[in-house]
Amino acid sequence: MESKPNYAQIYKSKSFRHLMHKKKRFLLPLTLFFLVFYFMLPVLTSYTDVLNKPALGPISWAWVFAFGQFVMTWTLCVMYSRKSRDWDRDIKRIREQAGREEA
Amino acid sequence: MNMTAFTLFLAIVAMTLVITYFASKKTNSTSEFYTGGGGLTGWQNGLAIAGDYMSAASFLGIAGSIALAGFDGFFYSIGFLVAYLVVLYLIAEPLRNLGKYTMADMIAARFDEKKIRGVAALNTITISTFYMIAQLVGAGSLIKLLLGLDAYTSIVIVGVLMTVYVVFGGMTATSWVQITKAVLLMVGTFIISMIVFAKFDFSLYNMFMHMKTATPLGDAFLNPGNKYKVPLDTLSLNLALVLGTAGLPHILIRFFTVKDARTARSSVVYATWIIGIFYIMTIFLGFGAAAFVGADAIIAQDKGGNLAAPLLAQALGGDFLFAFISAVAFATILAVVTGLVLSAASAFAHDFYGHIVRKGQATEKEQLNAARWASVAVSALSIVLSLFALKMNVAFLVSLAFAVAASANLPVLLFTIFWRRFNTAGAITGMFTGLLSALLLVALSPSVWGPEGKAIFVGEALFPLTNPGIISIPLGFLGAIIGTLLTSRPDFKRYTEVTVKANTGL
């Protein structure tokens, strides 16, 4: 029981490959998305005036974009939580399989 | 001296000492000292992360920046918050799965060379010390204004308290001080925000309309570009803000206080909600201070605008609210410096003493004693440095801490988890390039060199940007890449092991 799990074997296993593939497909595009979305605000405010135009009465697009960053952060947080519950099920399965092979 | 304020200060000190007393009974092992036994729940740790993170710079600094510069002050709020996506998506779960007590543990999970632990610990101690000096100097001037105590006395009082919390109560006391402070801060900020909002009949339209004419900046108050006029500097600041958090040692060690990666994840989610709501409210604090206190009155008390929030509390709610908000600010500083002492002391005792000096052979009791003595030493050093720094403009120390964290720690943390080819030499060169370039660029920047009264030395800055991030962060990544490619011997077997551990917790 105390012996180390066989990492090489788990690494090569189909279920682990599958988990890594799913994580990558979620994390990579969304990380790129939030970085681009985040840097759009300082880039637009530093190099242009487009965000100074009014959006809702006295509230300009710069503030709307700034609030958008909060909404984006919370939304991506919730998405990650939901998605990772699915990964947790995979992890549980991988751990069980590893335990069986060890025994 | 304001007697209500003084009584509330004492009440907060008494409460934190009671917490420490109960925590000290539980702190008998290194695991309890460094991680509080790892038994916090997701929401407790989420509150503690929020408490650790919403420093005086957030509460007092951002409110002041928004009051004086309008939209530009809000950049900090956005950057500090979005940074949690980097933490959640890339760092939190692997860090919890691979590490035990410190950030170095995680890197050492893949590369066991002592040098790595040494350099990582050096980074941690550098970042924590800079951050702590900034907080202590801030505490000195704040308490001076609020209680009338002189700044030297204030620094020593805060310094002694933080040492007591860490030495006797370890991570358990630290966590509960942070949780208490987070609750106080949220309640205080919410009360002020609601009073401000009520003044505008709970209408954002009315509030923004009023702000168009309420300040000396006029219309421009609501537009970006008052504070940051150099585009590259704005981008550099934003880069350091969004990437720095994921490399801050006092935030990273908070992931070791929970039982598994899943709880680490849920604590980031809770922290993100709390911190996000708090940063939204900084608009009410800033706008309120600009409208009801006024720029002149804010600057008259403190040039940097750091007293905007307490002054607003006084203008809206009189002496009691002023006293309450001041006491909250004091609790904020206490909680943050306590977290910093613990992170620096852990790096020193666990990485330097435990793994390098004693090669992992020290007994439990020896390690616990080392951790306690390291806390005393770190605190004493920071108190002395802060007393010397008292007359300097130390605002740059916080941006330096973020820049070092983003340049020296983050590249190596990311490559350790995600890059198969990465090796020991790459990790060491990456950490050194990031650390040295950030330090050097700040030493040459306008924060250090400027006209009389604006900086530490009088003269022309050789590096034009106040924040080094845009150069030093890419250099940190490049250093790690070049160091890796120039040397061979990648250990793929170790990488497969680390990848499996990081993703499954096995």
pLDDT mean across residues, chain B:
89
* Torsions phi, psi for B463 (to 5 deg): -110, 125
Contact between B36 and B175 under an 8 Å Cβ cutoff? The reply is: yes
Residue B292 neighbours by CB distance under 10 Å: 18
Q: How far apart are the first and last CA of chain A?
A: 7
Cross-chain Cβ contact B78/A91 below 8 Å = no
Written as six digits, the tokens of B212 are 């168009």
Question: Which pLDDT value is given to residue B255?
Answer: 92
Answer whether A64 touches B (CB < 8 Å): no
* pLDDT tens, residue by residue, A74-90: 999 999 999 999 999 99
A80 → closest Cβ in B88, B503, B506: B88
pLDDT at A1: 44
Q: Which residues of A touch B76 (CB under 8 A)?
A: none
> Which pLDDT belongs to residue A55?
85
Q: What is the pLDDT of residue A17?
A: 92
The pLDDT tens digits for A15-67 are 899 999 999 999 999 999 999 999 999 999 989 888 888 888 889 999 999 99
Q: Give the C-alpha separation, B358 to B124, whole Å.
A: 20
CA dihedral over B109, B110, B114, B116, signed as positive or negative: negative
Please tell me the least confidently modeled range out of B273-282, B482-491, B495-504.
Answer: B482-491
Angle at which helix B492-504 crosses helix A14-47, to 10 degrees, equals 80
Q: What is the CATH number of domain B3-391?
A: 1.20.1730.10
- Spatial neighbors of B362 by CB under 8 A, at least 6 apart, are B353, B354, B370
B497 CB-side CA count, 13 A: 13
Of B79, B225, B269, the CB nearest to A77: B269
Does residue B370 carry a pLDDT above 80?
yes
Residue A47 φ/ψ, nearest 5 degrees: -105, -15
DSSP B17-75: HHHHHHHHHH--SHHHHHHGGG-B-HHHHHHHHHHHHS-HIIIIIIHHHHHHHTHHHHH
| Tens digits of residue pLDDT in B205-255 | 899 989 988 888 888 888 888 888 888 988 998 999 999 999 999 999 999
Interchain pair B238, A39: CB under 8 A: yes
Give B265-321 as a DSSP string. Answer: HHHHHHHHHHHHHHHHHHHHHHHHHHHHT-HHHHHHH-TT-TTHHHHHHHHHHHHHH
| Chain B contact present for A40, CB below 8 A | no
d(CA A52, CA B278): 25
* Nearest-CB residue to B85 (from A5, A34, A46): A34
Nearest-by-CA chain B residue for A47? B231
Domain ranges of chain A: 7-102
Which of A8, A62, A77 is opposite residue B223, by nearest beta carbon?
Answer: A62
- Distance, in Å, from the CA atom of B176 to the CA atom of B362, rounded to the nearest integer, reads 29
Size of interface A-B (CB pairs under 8 A): 136
- Split at pLDDT 50, 70, 90, the class of B19 is very high
Q: Which of A8, A59, A95 sits opposite B504 (nearest CB)?
A: A95
Structure tokens at B491: 């250990």
Whether the CB of A33 is below 8 Å from some CB of chain B: the reply is no
On the CB side of B125, CA atoms within 13 Å amount to: 21
Q: How many CB atoms lie within 10 A of CB A89?
A: 11
The set of residues, in sequence order, having a beta carbon less than 8 Å from that of B164 and lying 6+ positions away, is B17, B20
CA distances from A92 to A22, B98, B144, B251 (A): 15, 17, 55, 28
Tell which residue, B402, B395, B425, has the closest CA to residue B472: B402
Give the other-Cβ count within 10 Å of B1's Cβ.
9
B224 close contact with A: CB closer than 8 A: yes
Instruction: Look at B31 and A100; give whichever has higher pLDDT.
Output: B31
Tokens of B236: 């550099």
Q: Tell me whether B492 touches chain A (CB under 8 Å).
A: no
pLDDT above 60 for A102: no
* Rounded CA separation B498/B160 (Å): 41
Each domain of chain B, given as residue ranges in start order, spans 3-391
Structure-token match 């992360």, residue found: B49
Q: Do A74 and B89 touch (CB under 8 A)?
A: no
Confidence band, pLDDT 50/70/90 cuts, at residue B329: confident
Lowest mean pLDDT among A1-5, B394-398, B444-448: A1-5
Contacts of A45 in chain B (CB under 8 A): 71, 224-225, 234
Q: Percentage of chain B surpassing pLDDT 70?
A: 99
Residues of B in contact with A5 (CB under 8 A): 500, 506
Per the DSSP assignment, residues forming a β-bridge with B503 are: none
Enclosing H/E stretch for B181 = helix B151-199
Residue showing tokens 């204004």:
B145
CB proximity list for B457: less than 8 A, separation 6 or greater: B448, B449, B450
| Nearest to B230, CA basis, from B445, B458, B47 | B445
Helices (H), B215-258: 231-244, 249-252
Q: Does pLDDT of B1 surpass 80?
A: no
As a whole-number percent, the residues of chain B with pLDDT over 90 amount to 49
Q: Report pLDDT digits (tens) over B41-79.
A: 999 999 999 999 988 778 888 899 899 999 998 998 999
Task: Supply the pLDDT for residue A101.
Answer: 55
Q: Mean pLDDT highest for which of B107-116, B256-265, B454-463, B491-500?
A: B256-265
Q: What whole-number distance in Å separates Cα of residue B83 and Cα of residue B402? A: 11
CB atoms B504 and A91 under 8 Å: yes
User: For residue A103, is pLDDT > 70?
Assistant: no
Q: Name which residue leads in pLDDT, B318 or B197.
A: B197
Neighbours of B26 (CB within 10 A): 16
Mean pLDDT of B441-452: 85
* Sign of CA pseudo-dihedral B260, B261, B267, B270: negative
Give the pair of three-digit tokens for residue B100.
């035990």
Half-sphere exposure of A6 (CA within 13 A, CB side): 12
How much is the pLDDT for B405? 93
Where is B404: in which H helix or E strand?
helix B395-404
What are the tens digits of pLDDT across the range B378-392? 999 999 998 888 877
What is the bridge-based pairing of β-strands A54-56 and A59-60?
A: antiparallel
By the 8 A CB rule, do B252 and B123 touch?
no
- Average pLDDT for B315-323: 90
* Interfacial B residues in 254-293 facing A (CB < 8 Å): 262, 265-266, 268-269, 272-273, 276, 279-280
Chain A residues within 8 A of B71 when measuring between CB atoms = 45, 62-63, 66
pLDDT for res B145: 76
Burial class, B4, CB count within 10 angstroms (exposed 0-12 / middle 13-18 / buried 19+): middle
Is A52 at the interface with chain B, CB within 8 A? Answer: yes
Burial level of A67, CB count in 10 A (0-12/13-18/19+)? middle
Average pLDDT over residues B394-412: 86
